[in-house]
Chain A
């Protein structure tokens, strides 16, 4: 295609963007708002997921051992555990160490424990970490079968709740996003409908002198793309700013919350938002051309 033809398309698209200033601004604002909300949801979901995975990877399975086992037997069991599939690390925690930990947790109220100190009721245990969260269940089952293991326990509830929350956020996010995308597409197609209407005389003449259908369509496609692109820019800026601000705040005041690093997550989010903006714009013009520009 000729350069002058593209120049023609761009000039036509620019003209109608300026001619319908109000609708142009309204469309851009809607695109921006939708993408902003989309971005916020995606960031929220990604971070919750990340937090849940981090916590899950920290899941510890504790295998409490029979009391009467001697050091060699414990050594043997530990070796057996090492050979289970999916094991990352095995730590022996003696009942004395366990009591020390308990004391630490009690902090200033540790005097409450003095009564049990003489007759330690805690058990020797093996603390096991798995390679992946998915290994937890099989490892637990494997541990239960070993002779000398009295009881197996692990903390799963909080993680399951976190994953459920992530799922819920994803689900509502998806619903909200679909609604917003629908509204955006509608507004863009309406803007372009106005352009088609404003340019009906030109379109009639173009048909008359033998312009091809795509020649007539291209300026409208470009107009839609521009609306999408222009809307994605403010959304992008706001999302990036907001996340940097949020991440800095969290790192400073709540450092134990494992937020995703801004650079890594934004690198993926930015092209996504721009791409979606353009997609929504293209979709809007496609719909409006299908309905109002029967060429």
Chain B
């Protein structure tokens, strides 16, 4: 229906980023300094200014995203440009460094910046893939609707269990009281729980098949299976949304760290000039 940010405006920002990278690379190949290429030549300084400018501009996205109702461009333009310019930064900065890495603050900046860029690439993957995965997983329902359905199922399950033996009752009650979705970051990211109380209750009812009251037992089982299936989808939903959030939690602090390293880098360069 609509296009994604990668092909937005017929790849306008890809073309722009490619142009920046191409100019930088051509200049780098054409330029033959006295020593091996580094940030201290005139081209090195130029590329450094471009790279630093790009970094600050890329970080500005966080502010622009929260400035609402201003500017001529849509946020979609900004994000598309943010993605491609971020990739161009990797090239420009590498050329600025002249492919040199050492144990110093300058390389620390480089490493931090690359972490941010790589996490950005991961983010793009998430942004392109997850909406479809989320939608498919939800099948037209919202998380809230799924939870309401679970509550309804729970009520039915408890009612059915009332007419059954104590052990079944206890297992079912435990399932409805102790089934948990999410809580810790780890369990949210994991996205499934094979030892879920509901699964245990389902297994228990499956195993006790044949111990009388077969009709209610079968009804109970179908409801437990349905609840398990819903739980599976909710956990998946939580996982995907949590991934989107945690991803941002990685991307942003590293970019702040990279900005600080940029400041240190610039100060030390001029201090030791």
A, B co-complexed: no
Show the binding face of A for B, using Cβ within 8 Å.
none
